[in-house]
């Protein structure tokens, strides 16, 4: 397993030598793969607890994961993230990882994979496209069992830079003016972009046709379902469970180095927590989510969803959106 810490250091070193938006930039035509291996039950049980997955899947009271149940839909993304960061901080990757903003994610389960099935993980960069706020890269992660694709994700990451008027083909639905950005040195940077903030994240390199970019609804008016009080150490606890110890999530002091008054919650935690709250997470086969604004810790947030359970959002007490998304379940 590649070291996420080493990738963060490499990203900080190489980013000053890369310039987003340069003519002729191309993505590395390489796929990075982790050999097939069963999911480790201990770390998975910890991940389930911190994200609120309390249904089938864990042996009650033992901290052990039952082998007859699938991991949460978001978990393969967590397993592959260090490998993705290795690709994105490599010399051939055209964008500086310091400054990338994670604007959306789309995950699809093609068939249920259980934790005792050896899972092969592959990451690659699927597409590089002009965006009206800069350049967007679409990152892909795939999971296979015995050579069969069982799970995949697509993520959009925006490298912000000056563009000509009218440049770019993508409507900026996640990164509107006046919203915050997650500043980072190389992990999942969620939210709408604030000028001058730096962020980072990734997966990795070249092959299949990318999925259509999702545009989750920005309703801000779904009925409330639950209120969560998030502790100040949530970033440290999730970082220990996921391996994502980005300094912006850990302490107020380290977050202030990147322009935030306090530590912020991981965006991938907010997605996972919403899926857990949605109920029957083992039946969710597709989710798409747009990151709108970071959650400053500690915080009180409201999870809201429509009556059918298809659309959801996370917002603060004033109605400001942190996350919007849609869910599709098995029939």
- Quote the pLDDT of residue 67: 57
Each residue's pLDDT tens digit, 196-215: 233 333 333 333 333 334 44
What does the block give as tokens for 109? 């389960």
> How far apart are alpha carbons 52 and 39 in whole angstroms?
19
- Quote the pLDDT of residue 191: 37
* Strand ranges (E), the chain: 32-37, 58-59, 64-65, 100-109, 119-131, 134-145, 148-160, 224-230, 284-291, 299-305, 311-315, 321-329
* Contact by Cβ (8 Å): 267, 104: no
Q: Looking at the 3D structure of the chain, how many domains does it have?
A: 1
pTM of the model: 0.78
**CATH code, 165:** 3.10.129.10
What is the rounded average pLDDT of the residues 307-330?
93
Q: Could you give the percent of the chain with pLDDT greater than 90?
A: 46
What is the rounded average pLDDT of the residues 322-330?
96
- Position 166 confidence tier, pLDDT thresholds 50, 70, 90: low
> How far apart are alpha carbons 53 and 284 in whole angstroms?
13
- Position 293 confidence tier, pLDDT thresholds 50, 70, 90: very high
Inform me whether the pLDDT recorded for 331 exceeds 60: yes
Burial of 43 (0-12, 13-18, 19+ CB in 10 A): middle
Burial of 194 (0-12, 13-18, 19+ CB in 10 A): buried
- Position 165 confidence tier, pLDDT thresholds 50, 70, 90: low
The three-class DSSP label of residue 231 is coil
Residue 322 domain boundaries: 4-329
Each residue's pLDDT tens digit, 45-95: 999 999 999 865 544 444 445 556 789 999 999 999 889 888 888 888 878
Of the candidates 244, 287, 35, the one whose C-alpha atom is nearest the C-alpha of residue 154 is 287
Comparing 40 with 201, which gets the higher pLDDT? Answer: 40
- Quote the pLDDT of residue 92: 83
What is the rounded average pLDDT of the residues 258-284?
92
Check residue 199 and give left, alpha or beta (phi > 0: left; psi -120 to 50: alpha).
beta
């Amino acid at each position: 397993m590649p070291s996420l810490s080493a990738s963060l250091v490499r990203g900080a070193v190489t980013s000053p030598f890369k310039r987003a938006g340069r003519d002729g930039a191309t993505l590395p035509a390489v796929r990075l793969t982790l050999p097939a291996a069963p999911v480790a039950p201990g770390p998975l049980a910890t991940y389930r607890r911190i994200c609120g997955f309390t249904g089938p899947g864990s042996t009650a009271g033992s901290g052990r994961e039952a082998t007859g149940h699938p991991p949460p839909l978001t978990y393969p993304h967590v397993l592959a993230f260090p490998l993705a960061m290795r690709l994105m901080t490599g010399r051939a990757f055209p964008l500086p990882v310091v400054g990338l903003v994670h604007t959306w994610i789309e995950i699809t389960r093609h068939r249920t994979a259980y934790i005792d099935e050896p899972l092969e993980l592959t990451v690659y960069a699927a597409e590089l496209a002009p965006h009206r706020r800069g350049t967007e890269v679409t990152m892909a992660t795939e999971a296979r069992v015995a050579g069969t694709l069982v799970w995949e994700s697509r993520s959009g990451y925006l490298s912000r830079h000056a563009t000509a008027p009218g440049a770019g083909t993508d409507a900026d639905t996640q990164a509107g003016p006046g919203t915050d950005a997650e500043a980072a040195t190389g992990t999942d940077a969620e939210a709408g972009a604030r000028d001058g903030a730096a962020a980072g994240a990734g997966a990795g390199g070249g092959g299949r046709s990318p999925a259509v970019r999702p545009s989750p609804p920005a309703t801000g008016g779904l009925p409330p379902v639950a209120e969560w009080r998030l502790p100040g150490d949530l970033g440290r606890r999730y970082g220990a469970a996921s391996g994502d110890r980005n300094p912006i999530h850990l302490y107020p002091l380290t977050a202030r180095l990147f322009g935030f008054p306090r530590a912020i919650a991981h965006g991938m935690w907010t997605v996972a927590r919403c899926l857990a709250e949605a109920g029957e997470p083992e039946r969710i086969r597709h989710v798409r989510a747009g990151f709108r604004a970071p959650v400053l810790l500690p915080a009180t947030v409201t999870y809201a969803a429509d009556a059918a359970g298809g659309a959801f959002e996370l917002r603060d007490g004033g109605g400001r959106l942190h996350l919007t998304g849609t869910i599709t379940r098995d029939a």
